[in-house]
Structure 1
């Protein structure tokens, strides 16, 4: 089977999920072409797993100081180029089209009357899950940004809905965790503001990753350039993470039993809803602004949650091999039976 797989590349979470899917799809013998949109071609990194891939401009969201601006997003979009990308994408040679919330692929398939399988967290919003921060614009963006005929929604909990657990790597649980080591990834914030915010907490060691290089004069704050391998090493042995409320990093952190503090992007319904879900489930803490008092309380709170998720990429690939039968409540309940939740202390 030949598959065309479109991935939203604005954030790293979609790409992380696609890496896991790529390994399972290739292992099963599928012929897959990946396309990424949402950032310049030279801003992608650690992409070797995709065996050659293509890049188009697509659409991306404008953010500034931790907030999405829909007005600037609309003004900076290039509709002519977007339509040209859709028109130039020939999907006739492919048996299946998959979109991880990637609009060029989704709309090109719709134009060519090809069925689209949507795989990703955003497709869970078609079901009754925790929602917050919604407005008419956000609701329309979620519905029409990358429409799919069949949507496989992913979330940390089923909430009584026919959705699946996250698609993440499933490494062994860390045996050696550094109790005072904290991983910080706030890519939509000014990194120098983040460094200044963290400087009073000298009893902790912060590893701050950001898209653009930052500088720290404090020995307990180490600033690092984004690197998949380096980030994973620091995530593996840290005690907790401070991040925006993206889905994939929180999923990996739960799998590894890290305590979580998230700051959702303002005016971004998905991230605000993610923060609400973490709060409802008792899986993490939230702050809606860079708040040193909240950070201090969280740093001294040893409670964390370890959630063991199965290899969902393998489950989906097997489902594809089985001919894509109805993913009903019975199917999803069987998957969730293997999920285990354990309360731990760091």
Structure 2
């Protein structure tokens, strides 16, 4: 089977899912061409698993200081250029297009009538799941940004909908936890704001990963680290908890490793606001609307450990795709949730019962 796999490059969560799925596609004998869009080619890293990959402009989201930059985003995204990329992408040699919220591959597949399967967290929002901060515009973006004939949404719980558990890109086995070690990954926040907050907790060792850092540097209990997949995975394996924005993939990996989570959602971004709401409703993590010392201090003292071990969703999706019967994703959903640790379900069902009584 010849597959074009399109991956949205805004943030690193989509890439992490692709990294988890890629070896299973290779093992299954699929011939895969990977297409990435949403950032410049030199801004991607650790791309060896994807061979001779394609980079296009696509569409992206621009942010600053924890908020969406609406005007800058509109100026960056050129509809005419997007249309030219869609029109010029030749899919005549492919049997299937897989898209992880990547618009060029998705719309080219629709235009050329090539079978397409979408895999990603954004597709869960087509169902009745916790949502907040939405609008007519955000709903239409979710629905039309990267459509596909078959859509596999991912989330931390199924919410009685035919969606799948998360895909976790993890190489490290859980290690002995270092009780005062915290991973910080706040890609949408300024280090000039984050570092002064972390200085208020000298008893805690913070490993702060940021794209603005060019090299590793230790400032007492604050350990500045440049973005590095291998180093990040090793630190994630033995940390006590994670402070991050409310993206989906890193939180999923943290939950799978039973790490405590504190998230600060990106303002103006419906997906992250809804993720924060879901974390609270599922009692899986803590949230803060703004970066502040009190929220971090309270979380460090009182955070509960989650238990959400998920099965190998990437392998199951590839097996399902290669089997060729794509008419019933609901059966795949049921199979995977039956293999998932049910602490999540019990927590959510208990809250539902209290609310309805």
Normalised to the residue count of structure 1, the TM-score between the two structures is 0.95
- Paired residues for 1:66-215 under 5 Å: 66-169=66-169, 174-213=174-213
Shift of 1:64: 1.2
Structure 1: 5+ residue stretches without partners: none
Separation in structure 2 between the aligned mates of residue 197 and residue 175 of structure 1, nearest angstrom: 28
Q: Deviations over 1:221-255 (max 9, x none)?
A: 11111000111111111000000001000010011
Shift of 1:320: 1.4
Shift of 1:158: 0.5
* Higher mean C-alpha displacement, 12-21 vs 174-183: 174-183
Separation in structure 2 between the aligned mates of residue 111 and residue 302 of structure 1, nearest angstrom: 49
| Cα distance change of structure 1 residues 288 and 19 upon mapping to structure 2, 3 Å threshold | same
Separation in structure 1 between the aligned mates of residue 287 and residue 159 of structure 2, nearest angstrom: 20
Cα RMSD for the two superposed structures = 1.7
Q: Corresponding residue for 1:292? A: 293
Separation in structure 2 between the aligned mates of residue 54 and residue 7 of structure 1, nearest angstrom: 10
| Cα distance change of structure 1 residues 133 and 216 upon mapping to structure 2, 3 Å threshold | farther
Q: Corresponding residue for 1:13? A: 13
Instruction: Say whether the 8 Å CA contact 2:246–2:263 is kept in structure 1.
Output: yes
Structure 2: 5+ residue stretches without partners: 345-357
Q: Deviations over 1:168-191 (max 9, x none)?
A: 135575240100000000011101
Instruction: Say whether the 8 Å CA contact 1:195–1:216 is kept in structure 2.
Output: no
| Cα distance change of structure 1 residues 219 and 41 upon mapping to structure 2, 3 Å threshold | same
For residue 156 of structure 1, give the secondary structure of its aligned residue in structure 2.
coil
Normalised to the residue count of structure 2, the TM-score between the two structures is 0.92
Structure 1 position 274 matched with structure 2 position 259? no
Instruction: Say whether the 8 Å CA contact 2:17–2:168 is kept in structure 1.
Output: yes
Instruction: Say whether the 8 Å CA contact 1:60–1:73 is kept in structure 2.
Output: yes
Separation in structure 2 between the aligned mates of residue 256 and residue 328 of structure 1, nearest angstrom: 26
Q: Deviations over 1:294-319 (max 9, x none)?
A: 10000112521121111111111111
Separation in structure 2 between the aligned mates of residue 112 and residue 21 of structure 1, nearest angstrom: 25
Q: Corresponding residue for 2:246? A: 245
Shift of 1:325: 3.6
Separation in structure 1 between the aligned mates of residue 320 and residue 75 of structure 2, nearest angstrom: 41
Aligned residue-pair number: 343
